[in-house]
Amino acid sequence: MNQDHLSIAQATLLEPSGLSDAHLQQLMQKLTNVDGSDFADLYFQYSKHESWSLDEGQVKTGSFNIDQGVGLRSIVGEKTAFAYSEDLNAPAILAAADVVSAIGRQGQNVTSRDIWRPQKIKPLYSELDPVAALDDASKVAILEQADRAARDHDSRVKEVMASLSGVYEVVLIVTSDGRQIPDVRPLVRLNVSVIVEQNGKRERGSMGGGGRHGFDYFDTAMIEHYSHEAVRQALVSLEAIDSPAGTMEVVLGNGWPGILLHEAVGHGLEGDFNRKGTSAFSGRIGEKVASELCTVVDDGTIANRRGSLSVDDEGNQTKDTVLIENGILKGYMQDEHNARLMGMDVTGNGRRESFAHLPMPRMTNTYMHAGQHDPEEIIKSVKNGLYAVNFGGGQVDITSGKFVFSSSEAYLIEDGKITAPVKGATLIGNGPDAMQTISMVGNDMSLDSGVGVCGKDGQSVPVGVGQPTLKMDALTVGGVQL
């Protein structure tokens, strides 16, 4: 498998422009020919992206994109120099390497290791190209099926918008410590959103999913599930009353509401912020930062998940990293640069949007381990509160620790029972404080359906989240009903 990946990567990225091991060594020599050079790498990437979208019952637009290039990086202490080339011919890449090495002071020639040892990695997904593996007519048929499934499900459906996308990426990472690591990464996604209308009132609902699969992941059952779920959410919203405003008990459903963890603790535990001391969690390893019911991990090793990677974008194998164990802060997510400066181990969290971006510590699949409680028991324990099961996006200020995430499906809990649906509202809290108020954790841990996109410093990467049903004793709900 691994040898297959290396040959795919070499055939895709090196052979078309005649790049040899000698060229790679020459490039690495240039990148490390800088006083005090600590680390350098080359990130070759080929990426093919295709997407189709449907509205008014037909697939109206499709687009196809191919990008390729190489990113060149050299690190000296805390300093990083970076350039990239979309031209994979040796003279263009050597010119980019000159740009990078000119940035540092020229010094003694620190030669890179000249023994290239391809790393053995166990792939977590198929090397199949999803875009090429299915004919275009069948891709269009997936969207048409999603449209029909939604319209047939309820006559109040007035509009269906669906989109299908497939990505096929081949990367080859060459590092100054002598590694040459390939990866071949498929990624597919299907999204269905609907507009429903009843008595002149309109609402929306949406559902989607995917992962590191081929398009065959979207079988009839899956397509119908997405469409029916989008319709169900929209119909619930039609009946929604104003959401309450104020601080109250909040029960979060399992799966996608794990966006809580991504925002409340995940970003704050990325290595770069903690090295710089700018996170609300900086310097707090060993301290209790959540209730003892909470064990939170970042796990890039789950087969076929959207947030998973066999190796990260620096060629390090991904891990199941414990961030918080029984409430105690255990560790950070690290890339090469920040791990070295902090004297910690890399955790396989070095990720980048593309060859044209610098890697940094990023999440993969971030989730909370299951607890002991029956989800029904959790609902029953709430006198007056909110039960939120679906969310849009979220955001965090890592310095103050304030995070938000916006519900798109939520209900009142009155006397231990789920009652009226309420309109979407933003929930806001302080990461370290909010995590301390988690008083019940369900036994129903699940991961999300595979739609997460995380943005940081202008770079987007696919991620996953997950959690069991859980109860927070006090969280501020941003509704309009006082």
167: its two tokens: 């990505």
Question: How far is residue 192's CA from residue 342's CA, in Å, rounded to a whole number?
Answer: 44
Q: Please answer whether residues 175 and 314 qualify as being in contact, where contact means their C-beta atoms are separated by less than 8 angstroms.
A: yes
Residue 302 or residue 388: which is nearer to another protein going by CB? 388
Q: What does the DSSP assignment read for 71-124?
A: EEEEEETTEEEEEEES--SHHHHHHHHHHHHHHSPP-S--PPP---EEPP---S
3-state secondary structure of 24: helix
Q: Give me the least distance between CB of 424 and another protein, in Å please.
A: 6
Q: Give me the least distance between CB of 97 and another protein, in Å please.
A: 11
> Distance of CA 301 to CAs 125, 172, 262, 304, 424, Å?
10, 19, 17, 9, 33
Q: Cα-atom radius of gyration of the chain, to the nearest Å?
A: 24
Residue 197 or residue 377: which is nearer to another protein going by CB? 197
Q: Give me the least distance between CB of 420 and another protein, in Å please.
A: 16
Q: Give me the least distance between CB of 124 and another protein, in Å please.
A: 29
Residue 381 or residue 395: which is nearer to another protein going by CB? 395
Q: Give me the least distance between CB of 88 and another protein, in Å please.
A: 10
Q: Give me the least distance between CB of 96 and another protein, in Å please.
A: 8
Residue 99 or residue 110: which is nearer to another protein going by CB? 99
Question: How far is residue 346's CA from residue 334's CA, in Å, rounded to a whole number?
Answer: 5
Q: Give me the least distance between CB of 125 and another protein, in Å please.
A: 25
Q: Measure CA of the first residue to CA of the last residue in the chain; give whole Å.
A: 59
Question: How far is residue 266's CA from residue 402's CA, in Å, rounded to a whole number?
Answer: 13
Q: Give me the least distance between CB of 430 and another protein, in Å please.
A: 6
3-state secondary structure of 281: coil
Question: How far is residue 162's CA from residue 159's CA, in Å, rounded to a whole number?
Answer: 10
Residue 254 or residue 406: which is nearer to another protein going by CB? 406
Question: How far is residue 268's CA from residue 281's CA, in Å, rounded to a whole number?
Answer: 6
Question: How far is residue 370's CA from residue 354's CA, in Å, rounded to a whole number?
Answer: 34
Residue 144 or residue 320: which is nearer to another protein going by CB? 144
